[in-house]
């Protein structure tokens, strides 16, 4: 088992912001009328809601991939912090180890989009293995390689199974362009997923640690 100190070069943690900047402060609504008198009519909150999907993978199905130590712990800490902040994070959107397959990830993302409304914020966190593979034709990457996120069911023998490329990830985001999207990734080659992107919506802000 390996620790989280990867030997390769990457931005250990980066922040991906598409669309409007997400405000971290919790907004409160005062339901009192003038002079401190309680308002008779109930106030319907129209504030944007934050929804999250958390992925953490230490144990990989393939014996050809070394396991990690700390990814699940990262995800667990993020889950706690997000819930304490009032973010909508049901159990079915917490994918750890064997539950974190590519299929489960795509289904959980689509479920989150269906539950959100335009203007809401979708938060994705991923802690696990990342990789690279030759770019598909037509080649859109300057280095000729796509960055990927590897899920529990990834296998080097079937490299297109159990992983999602930066192009595919942006495809999911593009279909969710009515929302603000915040992504935190702790994986090898993760910073390349931002640098190589040509996604036209919003702006990017990256932070390396």
pLDDT value at residue 147: 86
CB distance 180 to 120 below 8 Å:
yes
Cis peptide bond prior to 186, omega within 30° of 0: no
pLDDT value at residue 199: 40
Return d(Cα 70, Cα 13) in angstroms, integer.
Answer: 14
Query: What radius of gyration do the chain's Cα atoms show?
Result: 19
Structure tokens at 127: 């802690």
CB distance 192 to 147 below 8 Å:
yes
Report, as ranges of residue numbers, the positions in the chain whose pLDDT lies below 70. 1-46, 134-145, 189-209
CATH architecture of the region 14-20+48-195: 3-Layer(aba) Sandwich (3.40)
What residue spans define the domains of the chain? 14-20+48-195
Overall pTM > 0.85? no
Provide the terminal-to-terminal Cα distance of the chain, rounded to the nearest Å.
23
Residue pLDDT, tens place only, 98-135:
999 999 999 999 999 999 999 999 999 999 999 887 66
Strands, E, within 82-208: which ranges? 94-96, 121-127, 130-134, 145-150, 163-165, 180-186
CB distance 188 to 130 below 8 Å:
yes
Q: Which helix (H) or strand (E) holds 150?
A: strand 145-150
Give backbone dihedrals phi and psi of 113, rounded to 5 degrees, phi first: -65, -40
pLDDT value at residue 53: 98
Residue count of the chain, please give it: 209
């Amino acid at each position: 088992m390996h620790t989280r100190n990867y030997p390769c070069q990457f931005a250990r943690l980066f922040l991906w912001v598409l669309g409007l900047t997400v405000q971290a402060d919790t907004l409160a609504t005062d339901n009192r009328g003038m002079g401190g008198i309680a308002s008779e009519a109930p106030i319907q909150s129209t504030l944007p809601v934050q929804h999250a999907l958390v992925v953490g993978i230490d144990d990989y199905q393939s014996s050809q991939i070394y396991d990690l130590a700390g990814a699940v712990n990262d995800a667990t800490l993020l889950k706690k912090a997000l819930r304490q902040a009032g973010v909508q994070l049901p159990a079915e959107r917490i994918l750890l180890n064997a539950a974190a397959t590519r299929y489960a990830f795509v289904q959980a993302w689509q479920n989150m989009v269906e539950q959100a409304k335009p203007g809401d914020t979708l938060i994705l966190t991923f802690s696990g293995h990342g990789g690279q593979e030759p770019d598909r034709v037509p080649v859109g990457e300057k280095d000729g390689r796509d960055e990927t996120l590897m899920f529990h069911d990834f296998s080097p023998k079937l490299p297109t199974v159990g992983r999602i490329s930066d192009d595919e990830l942006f495809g999911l985001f593009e279909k969710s362009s009515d929302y603000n999207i915040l992504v935190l990734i702790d994986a090898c080659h993760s910073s390349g997923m931002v640098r190589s992107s040509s996604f036209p919506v919003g702006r990017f802000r990256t932070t390396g640690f």
